[in-house]
Amino acid sequence: MLAIRHSLDRFRLRSFVAGRTLHVDLSLAFSIEAKHRQNWEGEGFWGFKSALISLECGFEMQPGDAGFGGNGCLHEPGEFVRQEKPRYRRARGMNRQPFRAGSSSPSFSQQNCEEKAVPLCTEFDMAYFQSYSHVGIHEEMIKDHVRTETYRAAIMRHQSFIAGKVVVDVGCGTGILSIFCAQAGAKKVYAIDASQIAVQASEVVKANNLCDKVIVLHGRVEDVSIDEEVDVIISEWMGYMLLYESMLGSVITARDRWLKPGGLILPSHASLYMAPVTHPDRYRESIDFWRNVYGIDMSAMIPLAKQCAFEEPCIEMVTGENVLTWPFVVKYVDCYTVTIKELESVTAKYRFESMMRAPHHGFAFWFDVQFNGPAGVMGNHQLNPSQISSMDPSLNGSDQKKKRMKCDETLTLSTAPEDAPTHWQQTVIYFYDPIEVNQDQVIEGSITISQSKENARFLNIHLEYTSGGRSFVKESVMR
């Protein structure tokens, strides 16, 4: 524990806030206690535990600026809290006291959040949300044209559901989807994000003269208040392997809190797939490389190389040529009915028949999401029975593929190896040693994907597989 107590008579502070200069004259005394903590990757940092500050101040800032009430588009507590910035894989999202759109609100703290009857804001959550304050993550997602253009196409496809209606954008980031909805004629859009990127989102909204339509709420979906039911929920919640980051839970919370009966959720459905893969080039580059290094036998490095390369799931591109069989649906999600409890643990039994003779190096995972209307309605069209059957989670392999291709009205965002690449790529769980399989050889087993008890945004993966009379178990954590 670190304690600091100090007082200053008077000083001039010049701060750059949301693109504007703030001049502040302060007389203050403060007492601060800080505690050494760990972020969600186990890295140590100092975080504020408590602070008592008394001050007199005068400042000059244009009325209505973000974060200072008035006519600004951003609604958030009046205190700025500085967070340490850790490293992350890819993450989205600071807990806030509940506040109403357009009204003032008290400042937030970890203690205040824990007193509420809502899911606790852990230090892992705080670090996760903070990671989405970095512009690089948003740049990567927006530059993913498959992702961004598909969402814009979905909004226009369902314009009849959106025009003149109230929309919630869960995890709005820079606000791009909220603006798409406003351009499609939405009467009002609540753009919610818990990271500091909400400050920039409000400036983007202002720059596009949409403050009368788009209201940026800085806080968690679990904490903010909206004084009306909404017609549409839109969110880009998918993480690697679909469920990584556990952001779908926030969409479910928004649905249960605000969505009108018969309302629209985009995307509406999602499927997580798996298939055995062969990838000799990857194994050669990471493992076989050590057998002869400039004429030196470094085979002693191979056990460590296997552990370092293949202990955790790998985010990388595989091609259709790497896939040994038709895929299997591990989990099918209906966003209109799925529950948070249902996502805590997913278990499925699978059975494949290899379509070729090749070394089996592991399993690849990918997903797709569909943008269907509520209750079998898509845009202005009713789904016919053959289209509805394309969403049946019991279908696998070529039958499912053919039925999905017949569904001309369904708009799908796919991260499959045979489709255009996205920033999600594919997730591959490699074996430490490949298994030789013959054509038509059966590969079967089970997989369990569960939220980590340490951090619900991590995934624990338990994979059992049997082939050629041999059985194996692979356990890994996606963190």
Q: Which phi-psi region, left, alpha or beta, contains residue 371 (left: φ > 0; alpha: ψ -120 to 50)?
A: beta
The DSSP output letter for 165 is S
Element (H, E) at 181: helix 176-183
Q: DSSP letter string over 412-476?
A: EEE--TTSPP-TT-EEEEEEEEEEEE-TT-EEEEEEEEEE-SS-TTSEEEEEEEEETTEEEEEEE
Q: DSSP letter string over 197-264?
A: HHHHHHHHHHHTT-TTTEEEEES-TTT-B-SS-EEEEEE---BTTBTTT-THHHHHHHHHHHEEEEEE
Cα distances (angstroms) measured from residue 162 to each of 99, 172, 183, 374, 394: 25, 17, 10, 13, 32
- Per DSSP, the three-state class of 167 is strand
Q: How many CB atoms lie within 10 A of CB 20?
A: 13
CB 34 within 8 Å of CB 49:
yes
Element (H, E) at 286: helix 280-286
> Which token pair is 415?
């991260």
Q: Which phi-psi region, left, alpha or beta, contains residue 108 (left: φ > 0; alpha: ψ -120 to 50)?
A: beta
How far apart CA 305 and CA 299 sit, in angstroms, is 10
Q: How many CB atoms lie within 10 A of CB 336?
A: 16
Decide the pairing of beta strands 345-353 and 442-451.
Answer: antiparallel
How far apart CA 318 and CA 437 sit, in angstroms, is 19
> Which token pair is 229?
């039911």
Active site residues: 236, 245
Helices vs. strands in the chain: H and E counts, helices first: 12, 21
How far apart CA 430 and CA 308 sit, in angstroms, is 11
CB 446 within 8 Å of CB 345:
no
> Which token pair is 254?
């928004």
